[in-house]
Amino acid sequence: QVQLVESGGGLVQAGGSLRLSCAASGRTSNNGVMRWFRQAPGKERDFVAGISWSGSILYTNSVKGRFTISRDNAKNTVYLQMNSLKPEDTAVYYCNEHPGAVPTMIQYDYDYWGQGTQVTVSS
């Protein structure tokens, strides 16, 4: 079993920054893909960013140029640096581990998920 624990969420004004972290423990897939999804109130959970073990990266269009995903394989930790935040970035952000080779936007039944961390951007 894999446990994913997110941290770093909070309340920030528009234009501000936050850094999310996700620490993985248990039977992790060391060569898998780590991803971030988010779910705004009343909306579906959507892909934000993903990074493979080798460093291949994928972003959803709305965060390109503002968010940066990175990972520390030695620490089994993935990060999401969020800059120039907008009110529409407000959501619960979820960490995801997928046993694949390259990041995709698809959610799979066998993925592992964290409990989520709230990000609120005020205007």
Q: How many Å apart are CA 78 and CA 49, to the nearest integer?
A: 11
Average pLDDT of the residues of the chain:
94
Q: What is the pLDDT of residues 52-70, one digit of tens each?
A: 999 999 999 999 999 999 9
Amino acid (one-letter) located at 93: Y
Q: Give the model's pLDDT for residue 97.
A: 94
Interval 1-52: pLDDT, tens:
889 999 999 999 999 999 999 999 887 656 789 999 999 999 999 999 999 9
**CA 2 from centre of chain:** 16
